[in-house]
Amino acid sequence: ANLTKMAPKRQTVVRKNKKGACWKFTLDCTHPVEDGILDSANFETFLKEKVKVNGKTGNLGNVVQIVRQKNKINVTSEKQFSKRYLKYLTKKYLKKNNLRDWLRVVASDKESYELRYFQISQDDEESDADE
């Protein structure tokens, strides 16, 4: 085998978009964290371990940043990043911690999700008891 005829190494050229496209999403966990049923630091590490970049977990590099500020987790990505994927991972975390029966993931605006409690109507039960 002749080692001098190896394929030349291609140089990877990183092209920045003219707009500098960047995906930013926020997960607001304020209510469950204040009630002490969810640990935002634990959730942050879960996301860091589970988010896939190019089909691999633990491959965030400089492409995806996951930063926690008090009860909010900010996810910033330079590559295409689906908001729906973030919802999927959040639900997966809730299921893992048996919180799926109490919390739901709701889009509060175009680039953020909020963890809310299910609204359980207790009015019907109370009105039956009064009669």
C-alpha distances (whole Å) from 72 to each of 15, 68, 69 are 31, 6, 5
Confidence category of residue 126, pLDDT binned at 50, 70, 90: low
Interacting residues of 101 by C-beta distance below 8 A, sequence separation 6+: 118
Which domains, from first to last, does the chain contain? 23-117 (3.30.1360.210)
59-115 pLDDT, tens digit per residue, is 998 999 999 999 999 999 999 999 999 999 999 999 999 999 999 999 999 999 999
Average predicted confidence (pLDDT) for the chain: 84
pLDDT at residue 2 above 70? Answer: no
| pLDDT given for residue 15 in this prediction | 46
Q: What is the mean pLDDT of residues 47-57?
A: 94
